[in-house]
Amino acid sequence: MIEMHDVWKVYPNGVEALRGIDVRIDQGEFCYVVGPSGAGKSTFIKLMYREEKPSSGVILINGVNVKRVRDWKIPYLRRKIGVVFQDYKLLPHLTAYENVAFAMEAIEAPRRKIRSRVQEVLELVGLADRMNALPSQLSGGEQQRVSIARAIVNNPGFLIADEPTGNLDPENSWDIMYLLEEINARGTTVVMATHNKEIVNTMRKRVIAIENGVIVRDEDQGEYGYED
């Protein structure tokens, strides 16, 4: 569960990215974060995986106050949260398999466990037959699937996606969405920032709309609500 109470984020240059956010996302939910560019979506997302610290207010992840977590303990917090980006952030010199395994090696998982778990996750994202390909040999959609596999390989409770379909054509975008829905169905909370009107309006989920650093709308089965 993610809870935010009166969260403000003011950057050193004086920009107020978030101004008093109150929100609660329960375990197992799927929700979109929408809003115009520069409205504070990215900051909102970054606060969740502790890439940014709130200037004031309280953020609780599974009841843990993120602001109070000591720097050296942040890695352990991150293990509960998978993150997916618009640009995939794969390592170009590693194969699909190695990219996913890397996330398990980094938290010092036992080798035998790595092999079976990576295999399992690559099957889930439909890339078992492409696991020896380098990112450059994969399409955008396939690369994003590898990055999702990497994000969930350590069994995080949350999957946070920042415009995961931003670089993909509609067909690949839908593949990614079905995959995220599948992951959500298995119990992982999914929070996804997006600009994709078609997806939000078709695959109806909870929609949180942010404008000027404030939540202006929060509705189940919501609509995208913008014309871009």
Contacts with other proteins: how many residues (CB under 8 A)? 21
* Helix, strand, coil % over all residues of the chain, rounded to 5: 35, 25, 35
Question: Is residue 173 part of the contact set for other proteins (CB under 8 A)?
Answer: no
Question: Is residue 91 part of the contact set for other proteins (CB under 8 A)?
Answer: yes
Question: Is residue 79 part of the contact set for other proteins (CB under 8 A)?
Answer: yes
Question: Is residue 8 part of the contact set for other proteins (CB under 8 A)?
Answer: no
Shortest CB 149 distance to other proteins, Å: 12
What interhelical angle do 170-185 and 111-124 show, nearest 10? Answer: 120
Rounded-to-integer distance, Cα 156 and Cα 105, Å: 15
Among 1, 55, 102, 119, binds other proteins (CB under 8 A): 102
> What residues contact residue 9 under an 8 Å CB cut-off, 6+ apart?
16, 17, 18, 40, 43, 47, 52, 54, 55, 213
> What residues contact residue 90 under an 8 Å CB cut-off, 6+ apart?
99, 135, 143, 146, 147, 150
Choose between 35 and 82: whose C-beta lies nearer to other proteins. 82
Shortest CB 78 distance to other proteins, Å: 4
Q: What is the β-pairing status of strands 158-162 and 81-85?
A: parallel
Shortest CB 204 distance to other proteins, Å: 30
Question: Is residue 117 part of the contact set for other proteins (CB under 8 A)?
Answer: no
**Which alpha helices (DSSP H) does the chain contain, by range?**
41-48, 74-78, 96-106, 111-124, 140-152, 170-185, 197-202
Among 77, 133, 134, 214, binds other proteins (CB under 8 A): 77
Q: Which of the residues 141 through 160 are near other proteins (CB under 8 A)?
A: 150, 154
Among 67, 78, 197, 217, binds other proteins (CB under 8 A): 78
Rounded-to-integer distance, Cα 65 and Cα 50, Å: 11
What interhelical angle do 140-152 and 111-124 show, nearest 10? Answer: 130
- Let me know: does 139 contact 98? Beta carbons within 8 Å: no
Choose between 11 and 76: whose C-beta lies nearer to other proteins. 76
Question: Is residue 185 part of the contact set for other proteins (CB under 8 A)?
Answer: no
Question: Is residue 170 part of the contact set for other proteins (CB under 8 A)?
Answer: no
Among 106, 170, 181, 216, binds other proteins (CB under 8 A): 106
Question: Is residue 134 part of the contact set for other proteins (CB under 8 A)?
Answer: no
> Footprint of other proteins on this chain (CB under 8 A)?
49, 72, 75-79, 82-83, 89, 91, 102-103, 105-108, 110-111, 150, 154
